[in-house]
Chains A and B, each alone.
Chain A
């Protein structure tokens, strides 16, 4: 599944072609990230060969002085120029929604991590200095004094290496990824970072800058969007990643409330099945669950009225009476449909979002079962769904390797009796549509599947020639902006 995507045959003009290749590269980075553990040699090698194949720069030096013009193939300088062009076009394309920004930043970070790690040590230090990232190092006495704490704070430090290594004293705000995962020693607001973890700081800085830049770019979107030549290109590019935009309700009104129970067993991915079951059993879901499930239901075609009826009838069976429901919950449901507040039309969550953000805590049923359930419970659940022991083994192996979406896809294949799903799963609503397609549910749930998205080669997530039918009005983009900063840096 990690094959490089073929370039667009119809590119007219350098920008389009470059940007297209840029998406392909990031898509490739994403696929590798799903298939390999990011710190392994295998991952590194694979990335390296993919880059060369796509004609992107992967050398630390762009020394064009000794590159002769007659040389066959593009020079390193030329590759870089193209890389830059594609990066900036993608910024434009991927600043449009929260989901797109999240995806873009994640892939760019992985790409950056790879490129930085490939640099020789000298260039790394140069890089820090050029970017104004200068920090104090710990003195020998300080190191001796805090030796135990330093050793116990990082995998990469041992008794013998404390003395040899440089440790940087960095305000904790500059090393958030290390702080978040407790991989660094913290004292009085400073993180003490061993030299070999310094990439974390650089990444932190990179993320901040890219976030800010995307926020700024987003602000200029209305102007860009008024340019008829650009807008289709941008939509086309961002479309290539998310595939379908599941907030566009083509199926609206095609599902009846009675169908939800049977559908949840047949065509819902595990995450939604779990939420549905919890809702029916407890007559309640906490905020995280209501958002994840509510938006999914909207995506499969429930109307606002149906959604309201669905949630109310379930909640009033529990501790909430109709009056309380109208006061406390109705608002947030209208909100989901863009009928309240900033009137942002919320998009159903993608797998990435479900897996990476807002993990469930006490009392929560949301999240991705492949990621957030105890393997033992997952196993029991799969057994109760009558999956074969062999199939369960395969799924649990994928889970162990942290390939949650692949595990889900395997589950799809097993429950739909097919060998190859023929799509790469990245969205719960995609799961639902593909399932319905297979089960011939077209009669009950009519979907207008775009013809060009069919076929194993040309799946929703990467079809390069999907006609761009959707034109976001600039007013809606402005509305998005209101919430932008609060959600965005968040990420």
Chain B
């Protein structure tokens, strides 16, 4: 049996191995190049490394995949952050005229951190998480993923476990990467329902009409709430937690005092938390019928949202030049790899099953099965080091996460190809579609060609097109 026990003291020894044999460079490069559609997209991207002793180096950039590999293997960063695509190479930011070095594009990102839920978790606090409160992350992902797709029309969302106590989302659609700061903050605010700091008790207030986005989010919350909040978090079992819940019932509504008193009376005899919750909901229903006051009638929903709705760090999403921890970076405290999350099996995702760097490094030394050995022999004679590296991660627990990443990249490549064809008008059978448009940028044309195989050419002007673009 392999042990996944991770000791932070070993990190300096494990990192070189990880960066030499396991880190998925080719996928990583493929991701950040985005099909090479815009010039220097990868080259102008900022990376920042956190080295041993919290030494922080910003504005790293690399011109090729192999430069990135070499540099990472040399520096062995404890943590990697990804920043924006700039107007110039970030590594040369000091040499360009002040004011002209600017962040141009970046994925739209979201950062959800369990510490922001401290006032509504009873199981853990601060950086600790357990399988109970992890449900909060599941809810967050479901709600945000739906809204980003259905409401905002984004398609390429990469959800990543942060390695410790939260999740990140990278929205990679071209439209998302091009969003202005103002647009990013508008999206983040649209998605934020829980408002207020330490000086606010009631953090969710609903008013008529309930926006479709909120109704959709409520469906998700209502699904998880009874089991998660009432049963697992003991929402209505102790006096303190009951008081806390009842403090969220607005105090200026009709019959409030009577209701709460009655509720407390019932709670004297009724100890079952689920039944207690049902009682509370019954009062909410009654309230809806008798109260003419606007807004006061949703307190059951407001309670559910305050306890379960995703809490976003708006500032992370807002900035184009804000840095966020990179996928496949290692978390120095837990040793866990920041891996993509499979939304198809979201409810089964268990952060404690995510491989640690010590586990996968150990797996590297694990003797190969006879079969694997066989394949290896054959391949290693003919293939380059690059191929060997691919196989290296393939027989560790990292493999399935890299595969997820591959799927994500494939889907992005497919829609790029679709877009490209649509734009070129090359294969459009509809006469009304725009005719072939030869781009003035030869690089783009070549690029376009590389995305279509010759057998697809149907246009009689294809020959012209090809000659033109290769000129």
- CB-based contact A365/B314 at 8 Å: no
Would you list which residues of chain B between 91 and 150 have a CB under 8 Å from chain A?
A: 98-99, 101-103, 115-119, 150
| A152 partner residues in chain B, CB cutoff 8 A | 209-212, 215
Query: Within the complex, which residue of B116, B211, B213 is in contact with A361, where a contact is CB–CB below 8 Å?
Result: B116
Confirm or deny: A362 has a beta carbon within 8 angstroms of a beta carbon on chain B: yes
Q: Which residues of the partner chain B approach A374 to less than 8 Å between Cβ atoms?
A: 196, 199-202
Q: How far is the CA of A176 from the CA of B154 in the complex (A)?
A: 17
Closest to A184 in B: B211
Instruction: Tell me, rounded to whole Å, the shortest Cβ–Cβ distance linking B86 to chain A.
Output: 11
Cα of A359 to Cα of B108 in the assembled complex, Å: 20
Assess whether B367 is interfacial by the CB under 8 Å rule: no
Chain A residue nearest to B318 (CB atoms) is A490
A363 x B197 contact (CB < 8 A)? yes
Question: Please, how many angstroms separate the alpha-carbon atoms of A484 and B100 in the complex?
Answer: 11
State A181–B188 Cα separation when bound (angstroms). Answer: 11
**Shortest Cβ distance from B321 into chain A, in angstroms?**
5
* Residue contact A373 to B200, C-beta cutoff 8 Å: yes
Q: Which residue of B lies closest to A173 (CB)?
A: B183
Question: Smallest Cβ distance from B301 to chain A, in angstroms?
Answer: 14
Name the residue of chain A whose CB is nearest to the CB of B207. A155
Query: When the two chains form the complex, which single residue of A189, A360, A367, A491 contacts B182, counting CB atoms closer than 8 Å?
Result: A491
Nearest Cβ on chain A to B138's Cβ, whole angstroms: 19
Identity of the chain B residue whose Cβ is nearest the Cβ of A171 in the assembled complex: B175
Q: Which residue of A lies closest to B101 (CB)?
A: A482
| Chain B residue nearest to A364 in the complex (CB) | B197
Give the contacts of A121-160 with B (CB-CB under 8 A). 148-149, 151-153, 155
Q: Is B179 an interface residue (CB 8 A)?
A: yes
Contact status A153-B98, CB under 8 Å: no
Chain A residue with Cβ nearest B202: A374
Q: How many A-B residue pairs have CB under 8 A?
A: 144
**CA–CA, A188 to B197, complex, Å?**
32
Inside 8 A of A208's CB, which chain B residues have their CB?
180, 182
Given the interface pairs A172-B152, A180-B190, A478-B99, the reply to whether A489 lies near B182 with Cβ below 8 Å is: yes
Given known pairs A176-B182, A182-B211, A363-B116, the reply for A190 and B197 (CB within 8 Å) is no
Instruction: Name the residue on A nearest B315 (C-beta).
Output: A358
> B251 to chain A: which residues have CB within 8 Å?
376
Tell me how many residues of B have a C-beta within 8 Å of chain A. 52
Nearest-neighbor residue (CB-CB) of A178 within chain B: B186
* A328 at interface by CB-CB < 8 Å: yes
Check if B199 sits within 8 Å of A373, measured CB to CB: yes
- Chain B residues with Cβ under 8 A from A180's Cβ? 185-186, 189-190
Interface hits, B46-101 → A, CB 8 Å? 54, 98-99, 101
Q: Are B179 and A362 in contact (CB under 8 A)?
A: no
A365 to B211, CA, bound (A): 29
Q: Across the interface, which residues of B come within 8 angstroms of A491, CB to CB?
A: 181-182
Expressed in whole angstroms, the Cα–Cα distance for A188 and B200 within the complex equals: 34
Q: Which residue of B lies closest to A489 (CB)?
A: B181
Q: Assess A490 versus B212: contact at CB under 8 Å? Given A179-B190, A478-B98, A479-B98.
A: no
- Residues of B within 8 Å of A364, CB to CB, are 197-198
If the complex has contacts A364-B198, A489-B181, are A185 and B212 also in contact, measured as CB distance less than 8 A?
A: yes
Q: Measured between alpha carbons, how far is A105 from B155 in the docked complex, in Å? A: 34
CB distance from A293 to the nearest CB of B (A): 14
Residues in B with CB closer than 8 Å to A187 are: 150-151, 153
Contact of B196 among A153, A173, A179, A361 (CB under 8 A): A361
Seed contacts A172-B183, A182-B214, A478-B98; 19 additional CB < 8 Å A-B pairs: A152-B212, A172-B152, A176-B182, A176-B186, A179-B186, A185-B212, A188-B150, A189-B152, A208-B180, A359-B196, A360-B198, A361-B116, A361-B314, A362-B119, A362-B197, A364-B197, A365-B197, A365-B199, A486-B103
24 residue pairs bridging A and B, Cβ less than 8 Å apart? A148-B212, A149-B212, A151-B209, A152-B210, A152-B211, A153-B209, A153-B212, A173-B179, A179-B186, A181-B189, A182-B211, A182-B213, A189-B153, A208-B180, A361-B195, A361-B196, A362-B117, A364-B198, A365-B199, A376-B201, A479-B98, A485-B103, A489-B182, A490-B182
Tell me the B residues contacting A by CB distance below 8 Å: 54, 98-99, 101-103, 115-119, 150-154, 175, 179-183, 185-187, 189-190, 194-202, 209-215, 251, 311, 313-315, 318-321
Please provide the 10 A-B residue pairs with the shortest distance between their CB atoms, ordered closest to farther.
A189-B153, A360-B197, A364-B197, A188-B153, A176-B186, A373-B199, A481-B99, A180-B186, A152-B209, A186-B151
